[in-house]
Amino acid sequence: MVESLRLFCQHISFLIMIYGGRLGIRLGNSLPCFTCPYVSGCAGHCYLMVLQRSSVGFQTAFDIFFSGAVFNILWPFAVFLLFFIPLSKLWCSWICPFCLVQDWISLVRKKFYIREMILTRKTRNNIKPVKYILLVLLITIPLAIANFNLHSDWALPFCQICPGKPILPLFQGNWSYFHINYTNGITMAFSFLSMVITGGMLVGMFFRERFFCMFCPMLALMHLLKAISPVRFEKKIHTCTGCGNCERSCPVDIPDVHLEKVKKNVLTQDCMGCMSCVEACPADHTLTFKWFGFRLFSSSRSYLSRKWSQK
Amino acid sequence: MVFCLMPAMVFAIPQDKNFLYFKFLEMKKEKNGQVSQAIELVCTDPAVGAVKVFYRENSDPAVFFAPVKDGIVTLIVDKPSRISLFAFSTNPAGFPEKKLVAHTNLVLFGKSSVPAPRIMADDIDVNRFAGLPGIELLSSENYYWHQTGQVLKFCIKPVLEPDSSDIDPGNIRIFVLENHKIRRLTMDGTLDFSYDPAHDERLRKTGVTAIRQDILYTTMEEKNQKYFLTYSLLLHRSRKGFNDIFSGVSVLGTSMILFIGLILKKRRTPW
């Protein structure tokens, strides 16, 4: 089953990403998933950190930016594209270690039969721009440090508040990032905010599947680049029965696949490519994930009936 | 050759001792990706001879010559480089002859396809200075990002041949000029000198890349030679010294309780 295969891939990638560095695996610092550089011995780093750094990211003076040194900034982006383009958003549900942590937390809730928190469409629509705002901030704040004398303790603004920073090192027995940094007012404010956000996200992840993904700026960046990806999620409008299974089975309740009546490509901004909707669709070949035009996985009545008969 | 007499930092160094040391000036990122670091040579001895400056990069045994212009050495790198920088001079007046040695370590993160200019040192000069002792910083946990509040260890070794040391540290005393105050370094059981730089309010407020420069100095006599040694130590603020885990866990716990309470209170209504 696709769900089991996805979880298997995610567990393997989790082990590689979190512990692989100790085995000599080096995947660089431009990965399109939340594998955190604060985890010592990880196999690779999240690209968002590079994006915020000096010399290789946006913490760069304008005169250097528009000189030959821009190659140093473009190089990590080119590596990011090399990783991103083949898999696109499949990185999120199939590889991202932080996504798996969220799945584990949700699993605990399900085991205790605790009801999931329900978000209205209005709330979900209001949340959508947050990830783009975070993406803009994590670019403009480093630019302001390098060019407008903003205090250097604003460096790596997103990393300072990202819940991945304290949570992922826990898997290496390091809980030292759960702290308040009293060095000065800025560090104290950032670390306080980090703890409040981490607390909120942990609770949110428990009561709501993939809660953090709704705010993830990496997802926003990926969505902006989806046009150059070979991964497509297609819907055959004329064979759709309108049953709504896709929306109900979606961990992030995306209504667009169900409601879309015109467009063929239904890879929306919140979609993480988990393929739950394709698994749940009862109409043959109505929903299809394609890669370079090849069919990766397509909805089928017989698959769905087999899946439910096993349960 | 006198470069700069009595800058503010020198006031606390005893006036009867004449030292040569490095003072870090501006670090600059060039448009081509190279990084340059200007370092001023400060000498308090008016009768000192010509100063020669050499450096080594990473673990490369090759010694390069660094030209001095108006008392300033400019190091340029095109790749991430750990640099060990030395300056030597002598004052032949008086007996025994005075030999002045300055040493420092720094890391520069250059990234350029344009190769940085390098001048190989003259073998005669290298052999002349190879056996001179210098204050050496032993590698530590944060091997290039030295921080206040972290114990650093020093020893006296020949600067260009650190593995061939036969210097007895027993009767050597190393002092440090720390924020205009002089402290004596303590010797530990392994006969290394320990230095625990105090936290600095200025560094705390200024930012993560702000630096403080401390000067370690000592004098020693050996084989009818008198040596005046310095080490210029670059320090950053402590990265973890002001982190409080208890406060962090308390804020985390409080926020979690508040969020859980909020969700349970609204559990019957969609958000």
Q: What are the structural domain ranges in chain B?
A: 4-246
- Tens of pLDDT, residues B164-189: 666 777 778 899 988 788 889 988 87
* Of B31, B240, B270, Cβ closest to residue A69: B31
The answer to whether B271 faces chain A, any CB pair under 8 Å, is yes
- Give the integer Cα–Cα distance in Å for B39 and B74: 6
| Cross-strand pairs, B134 | B157
The answer to whether B270 faces chain A, any CB pair under 8 Å, is yes
Report pLDDT for B5.
Answer: 38
Show residues of chain A in contact with B80, CB under 8 Å.
none
CA B207 from chain centre, in angstroms, equals: 19
pLDDT at B2 over 60: no
The domain boundary, picked from A185, A205, A222, lies at A222
The domain boundary, picked from A167, A193, A222, lies at A222
Residue A143's domain comprises 2-222
pLDDT at B1 over 50: no
Contact check, Cβ <8 Å, B244/A179? yes
Scanning B50-79 for CB atoms below 8 A from A yields none
For B3, residues 6+ apart whose C-beta sits below 8 A from its C-beta are: B40, B41, B42, B43, B51, B71
Q: Provide the 8-state DSSP code for B197.
A: P
Quick count: other Cβ atoms within 10 Å of Cβ B34?
22
Answer whether B234's CB lies under 8 Å from B104's CB: yes
Show residues of chain A in contact with B263, CB under 8 Å.
117, 203, 207
Contact check, Cβ <8 Å, A183/B204? yes
The answer to whether B32 faces chain A, any CB pair under 8 Å, is yes
pLDDT at B18 over 80: no
Do residues A112 and A210 both lie within one domain?
yes
Top pLDDT among A95 and B131 is at: A95
Residue type, A140: T
Weakest mean pLDDT among A7-21, A60-74, A276-290:
A60-74
Do residues A134 and A268 both lie within one domain?
no
pLDDT at B45 over 80: no
A59: left (phi over 0), alpha (psi -120 to 50) or beta: beta
pLDDT > 70 in chain A, percent: 99
Q: Could you tell me how many CB contacts below 8 A there are between chain A and chain B?
A: 103
For residues B27-34, average pLDDT: 84
Confidence of residue A311 (pLDDT cuts 50, 70, 90): low
- In which residue are the tokens 């926003």 written? A220
* Of B237, B258, B263, Cβ closest to residue A207: B263
> Which of B247, B266, B268 is best to mutate for the A interface (most A CBs within 10 A)?
B247
- In which residue are the tokens 């005169």 written? A63
Do residues A72 and A197 both lie within one domain?
yes
Element (H, E) at B39: strand B35-43
Instruction: Identify the closest residue of chain B to A177 by CA–CA distance.
Output: B245
The answer to whether B49 faces chain A, any CB pair under 8 Å, is no
For residues A141-156, average pLDDT: 94
Answer whether A158's CB lies under 8 Å from A138's CB: yes
Weakest mean pLDDT among A97-106, A276-285, B10-19:
B10-19
For B100, residues 6+ apart whose C-beta sits below 8 A from its C-beta are: B18, B19, B20, B43, B45, B48, B87, B88, B89, B90, B91, B227, B228, B229
Report pLDDT for B218.
Answer: 92
> Which of B35, B239, B255 is best to mutate for the A interface (most A CBs within 10 A)?
B255
Show residues of chain A in contact with B255, CB under 8 Å.
195-196, 198-200
For residues A152-165, average pLDDT: 95
Top pLDDT among B46 and A300 is at: A300
Contact check, Cβ <8 Å, B253/A199? yes
The domain boundary, picked from A222, A242, A273, lies at A222
Do residues A80 and A59 both lie within one domain?
yes
* Average per-residue pLDDT for chain B: 84
- CA dihedral of A183, A185, A191, A192, whole degrees rounded to 10: 130
Pairing mode, strands B225-235 and B97-109: parallel
Query: Helix axis angle, B245-265 relative to A185-207, nearest 10°?
Result: 40
> Which of B148, B239, B252 is best to mutate for the A interface (most A CBs within 10 A)?
B252
Quick count: other Cβ atoms within 10 Å of Cβ A224?
12
Show residues of chain B in contact with A59, CB under 8 Å.
none
- Tens of pLDDT, residues A50-109: 999 987 899 988 888 887 778 888 899 999 999 999 998 899 999 999 999 999 999 999
* Of B109, B240, B271, Cβ closest to residue A119: B271
Report pLDDT for B4.
Answer: 41
- Give the integer Cα–Cα distance in Å for B22 and B215: 9
- Tens of pLDDT, residues B229-266: 999 999 999 999 999 999 999 999 999 999 999 988 87
Do residues A216 and A234 both lie within one domain?
no
- Tens of pLDDT, residues A210-220: 999 999 999 99
pLDDT at B131 over 70: yes
Do residues A154 and A261 both lie within one domain?
no
Do residues A194 and A247 both lie within one domain?
no
For residues A7-23, average pLDDT: 94
Report pLDDT for B31.
Answer: 80
Weakest mean pLDDT among A127-131, A231-235, A303-307, B211-215:
A303-307
pLDDT at A183 over 90: yes
What are the angstrom distances between the C-alpha of A264 and each of A233, A237, A298, B81?
A: 8, 7, 14, 53
* Average per-residue pLDDT for chain A: 91
Short-list B126, B43, B55, B110, CA closest to B78:
B110
pLDDT > 90 in chain A, percent: 66
Do residues A284 and A214 both lie within one domain?
no
Contact check, Cβ <8 Å, B256/A175? no
The first and second tokens of residue B7, run together, are: 């800058």
Instruction: Give the total number of structural domains in chain A.
Output: 2
Show residues of chain A in contact with B242, CB under 8 Å.
181-183, 187
What are the angstrom distances between the C-alpha of A215 and each of A62, A167, A198, A251, B81?
A: 29, 16, 13, 15, 39
Which residues on chain A place their C-beta less than 8 Å from a C-beta of chain B? 55, 61, 63-64, 67-69, 71-72, 115, 117-120, 123, 151-153, 155, 175-176, 178-184, 187, 191-192, 195-196, 198-200, 202-204, 207
Do residues A204 and A242 both lie within one domain?
no
- Give the integer Cα–Cα distance in Å for A75 and B112: 12
| Cross-strand pairs, B41 | B22
The answer to whether B80 faces chain A, any CB pair under 8 Å, is no
Answer whether A134's CB lies under 8 Å from A220's CB: yes
Do residues A240 and A208 both lie within one domain?
no
- Give the integer Cα–Cα distance in Å for A247 and A258: 6
Short-list B168, B142, B141, CA closest to B155:
B168
